[in-house]
Amino acid sequence: MVSAVRERSVRSAWDAAAEVTDPEMPMLTLADLGVLRSVTRDGDRVVATITPTYAGCPALDAMRGDLAAKLADFGDVEVRVSLTPPWSTDLISDEGRRKLAEAGVAPPAHVGPRSAGPVTLSLAPPAQRVVCPRCGSADTEVLSRFGPTACTALRRCRSCREPFEHMKDL
């Protein structure tokens, strides 16, 4: 009985945590982004575990605070940050990709499992096909490899001439 109640409360704590949005890309929840790893109970405490997108992501402290506030109703909250396994854009849900495109941010391509060997250096411009989130044209080019947040690059559509953000494949 007690464990069933606990089970339920852990599940509703997950549901609550899953609604917290990313501070820099508020169209996505931490769950959409694949940053929310788990919500568990440790004694009387609720423990939420998140993983950073980039090692130096400055939004991490805000995520922590938002999660702690959201979960306060479930008891004492501890938010843990874990690096393993490393985050990848492949963890962004289909729902998250749809929301990104809707908000004018081109979603990342799937990168697949990472090779254990050395990464080869390419001097050619990035060859990936990125579709303009505004007009759907695939005729787009890189404006800047680094964008306004750690995880985006800037691109321009050659068809509709509009600049847009692209979430870098990582």
Q: Is 69 in the site for another protein (CB under 8 A)?
A: yes
Bridge partners (DSSP) of residue 29 are 21
Q: What share of the chain is helix, strand, coil (3-state, %, to 5)?
A: 30, 25, 50
45 binds another protein (CB under 8 A): no
Taking the complex as a whole, the smallest distance from the CB of residue 41 to another protein amounts, in Å, to: 17
Q: How far apart are CA 99 and CA 103, in angstroms?
A: 6
Shortest spacing between CB 121 and another protein, in angstroms: 5
**85 counts as binding another protein under rule CB under 8 A:** yes
Among 54, 93, 104, 134, binds another protein (CB under 8 A): 54
Q: How far apart are CA 93 and CA 58, in angstroms?
A: 22
- Out of 2, 4, 123, 127, name the contact with another protein by CB under 8 A: 123
Contacts for 40 with CB less than 8 Å, ≥ 6 apart: 10, 46, 47, 49
- Span from 3-11, 93-101, 146-154, 159-167 in contact with another protein (CB under 8 A): 146-154
Q: Which residues contact 87 (CB under 8 A, 6 or more apart)?
A: 34, 35, 51, 52, 53, 170
- Which residues contribute to the site for another protein (CB under 8 A)? 49, 52, 54-58, 60-62, 64-66, 68-70, 72, 79-87, 114, 116-119, 121-123, 143-148, 150, 154, 168, 170
